[in-house]
């Protein structure tokens, strides 16, 4: 049975892109042996962040994951900074990763664009992510398309480390959903839906009230045509809605095209809005229940961190030995 690991940042609010691209599959996969899911709070330090809300956001992200269906009894749900081994392994892997390969990371280039100065953390971010993955000997990493390059880096670093210092890490494989791997912004359908989007209207948040969800989807940018056909190059807006509908209802792109053949954009958008509201309503209800007991959420995260530490420590020890550090005596 493969081990599965993935992570999400507690920055901004979670949106349907996160859900359809990644989180929904985490819920489906959690019964696989040792599935681990991590709220990566240390990653959130790499760009602008608010120190007065970081802890609350971290808890809220964990609550959203639980509301989406992650059950801390069936998987390991934890907060990255509660397992110090991640940062130590990052240092070791920093000395295996190269400046050249990190400089090529698209996300670093995008996030750093136009900034007067960026933190070393932002540059090093992919190595922290590689540590998250290699730390738990993950075979599979369910992610959206935007994390593809980081996963390639994890594979390269694991392979390089193993070749130089002996077999130490599992070389992980990324997995993507059939539809929904790259949900686009509703207002700017050539750009991915993102927590840091300029306009809130293009992003459907998991906790948006039903009326707001409908409004955003009905106002989605389309094109001057009338056909519900999938073509990302010429019909980016409609294609995105087709994918969202297919992912939300468990259908496929050709089936959605057939279902809405001959119908106009207006009717189609109403159906997409309805499907998304239906998808998110149970999650929103569960979130409301969890919100009443934050101490219980923290307790569950404490148990998750203990489980994660028990798995991480032996792997870190193996990596320390592999590179020849003097083991401490008891």
Residues interacting with ligand TYM, by CB under 6 A? 5-9, 17-18, 21-22, 40, 43, 129, 132-133, 141, 143-144, 146-147, 181-183, 192-193
Nearer to ligand TYM, 5 or 275 (CB): 5
Nearest distance, CB of residue 24 and ligand TYM, angstroms: 10
- For the bound state, the minimum distance from the C-beta of residue 284 to ligand TYM, rounded and expressed in Å, comes to 19
Nearer to ligand TYM, 221 or 227 (CB): 221
Catalytic residue among 109, 111, 218, 235: 111
Asked if 40 and 9 count as a contact pair (C-beta separation under 8 A), the reply is: yes
Would you report the helix, strand and coil content of the chain in percent, each value rounded to 5? 55, 10, 35
Report yes or no: 5 and 77 within 8 Å, Cβ to Cβ.
no
The separation between the first and the last C-alpha atoms of the chain, rounded to the nearest angstrom, is 35
Least distance (Å) from ligand TYM to the CB of residue 86? 9
Among this protein's residues, is 269 annotated catalytic? no
Residue 307 appears among annotated catalytic residues: no
Q: Which of 109, 173, 195, 218 is catalytic?
A: 195
Q: For the CB of residue 10, give the shortest distance to ligand TYM in the complex, in Å.
A: 8
State which residue, 181 or 217, has the beta carbon closest to ligand TYM. 181
Nearest in space to 29 (alpha carbons), one of 134, 128, 138 = 138
| Closer by beta carbon to ligand TYM, 72 or else 189 | 189
Q: Are 116 and 52 in contact (CB under 8 A)?
A: no
Query: What are the tokens at 110?
Result: 């995008």
Query: Which residue, 94 or 263, is less far from ligand TYM as judged by CB?
Result: 94
Residue 142's DSSP bridge partners are: 175
- 113 assigned to active site: no
Q: Pairing between strand 76-79 and 36-39?
A: parallel
By C-beta, is 141 or 275 nearer to ligand TYM? 141
Q: What does the alpha-carbon distance between residue 304 and residue 264 come to, in Å, rounded to a whole number?
A: 48
Q: Which two tokens stand for residue 224?
A: 């001057």
Among residues 66, 60, 81, the alpha carbon closest in space to that of 312 is found at: 81
Phi, psi of 273, rounded to the nearest 5 degrees: -60, -45
Q: Are 130 and 170 in contact (CB under 8 A)?
A: no
Q: Tokens representing 237?
A: 């807006």
Distance CA 74, CA 162 (A): 31
Q: Which of 192, 218, 255, 307 is labelled catalytic?
A: 192
Residue 83 tokens read as 């397992």
Minimum separation from the CB atom of position 133 to ligand TYM (A): 5
CB of 326 to ligand TYM, least distance (A): 30
Cα 98 from Cα 100, distance rounded (Å):
5
* Residues involved in catalysis: 111, 192, 195
């Amino acid at each position: 049975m493969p081990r599965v690991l993935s992570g999400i940042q507690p920055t901004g609010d979670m949106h349907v892109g996160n859900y359809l691209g990644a989180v929904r599959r985490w819920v489906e996969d959690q019964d696989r042996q040792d599935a681990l899911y991590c709220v990566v709070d240390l990653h959130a330090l790499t760009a602008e962040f608010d120190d007065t809300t970081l802890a609350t956001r971290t808890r809220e992200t964990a609550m959203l994951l639980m509301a989406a269906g992650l059950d801390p009894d069936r998987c390991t749900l934890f907060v990255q900074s509660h397992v110090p081994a991640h940062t130590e392994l990052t240092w070791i892997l920093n000395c295996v990763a190269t400046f050249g390969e990190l400089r090529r990371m698209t996300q670093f280039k995008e996030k750093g664009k136009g900034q007067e100065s960026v933190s070393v953390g932002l540059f090093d971010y992919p190595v922290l992510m590689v540590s998250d993955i290699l730390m738990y000997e993950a075979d599979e990493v369910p992610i959206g398309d935007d994390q593809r390059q980081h996963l390639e880096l994890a594979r390269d670093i694991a392979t390089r480390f193993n070749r130089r210092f002996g077999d130490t890490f599992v070389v992980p494989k990324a997995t993507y959903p059939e539809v929904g791997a790259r949900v686009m912004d509703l207002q700017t359908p050539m750009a991915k839906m993102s927590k840091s989007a300029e306009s809130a209207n293009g992003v459907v948040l998991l906790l948006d009230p039903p009326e707001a969800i409908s409004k955003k989807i009905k106002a989605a940018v389309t094109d001057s045509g009338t056909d519900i056909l999938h073509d990302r190059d010429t019909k980016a807006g409609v294609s995105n809605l087709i994918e969202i509908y297919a992912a939300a209802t468990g259908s496929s792109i050709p089936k959605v095209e057939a279902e809405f053949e001959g119908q106009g954009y207006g009717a189609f958008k109403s159906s997409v809005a309805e499907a998304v509201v239906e998808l998110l309503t149970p999650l929103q209800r569960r979130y409301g229940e969890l919100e009443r007991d934050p101490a219980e959420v923290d307790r569950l995260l404490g148990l998750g961190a203990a489980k994660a530490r028990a798995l991480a420590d032996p792997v870190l020890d193996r990596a320390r030995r592999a590179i020849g550090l003097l083991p401490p005596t008891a």
